Structure 1
Amino acid sequence: MIRYSLRCRDGHAFESWFRSGSAYDALRDARQVACPDCNSTEVEKALMAPRVSGQDAAPEPAKEEHPLAELRRRVEAQSDYVGADFVKEARAMHEGSSARRAIYGEARIGEARKLVEDGIPVAPLPFLPRAKVN
């Protein structure tokens, strides 16, 4: 995962996470990266400084668990991972042919959009399933 500082054509600055630099390029070229302020899809990377730590850097004080880490822990503990069967499972639960339960998995953006259009409540998670993390 990589975080980029971004700027839209109107100068609004924001940040977003991407799987890789090439994933960002593909999403930007497909006009899938939009400014949260004005919804412009004319977005470019902004100048950003890398985060570097050295051996002589002072240790950071202990922090509370990061909210995304807590969300991941709760989703993994309270939901069934269905992987690539997510769309099929979500639709089966909506149609009543499968027991309702909390699930998470993977879906292409078009498939997820179709679920929403069909009235099936889904939402993207801000992390990758552990099976997909290197």
Structure 2
Amino acid sequence: MFELTESASLTNVSGTRRMIETISALGCEFSIDDFGTGFSTFAYLKELPAHSVKIDGSFVKDMNNNSVDKTLVSAIAEVATALGKTSVAEFVENADIFDELLKMGVRYAQGYYISRPLQLDDVKDFQFAHNKKAT
């Protein structure tokens, strides 16, 4: 079993992936060492005084069809909550994803299910229509 540190693995993800696949074909295995201490991971969430965490749309957009993506979204939302941060999901494209995110505790969403991108001149009309629905 070979160990790869997370930070070393992330410097060239595509090259690291090819190397793991090639050597794995020979019967070797790999472990990611020191997970959570490298680039853009849980260590950053813990150390940086940010107020929210944006969950990348690459995980969100297919989470209802991909159990791994769904688990990752849930884990990120749970960690954010545990650290006192809110979570924001990108690529919220339909009601099913929206509803599932609510169950996970995600309280902010961006995506076409919420609204298509608007010209600045149209934002006031959108806000008025949205506020009218809420009353």
**TM-score, normalised on structure 1?**
0.24
Larger proportion of helix? 2
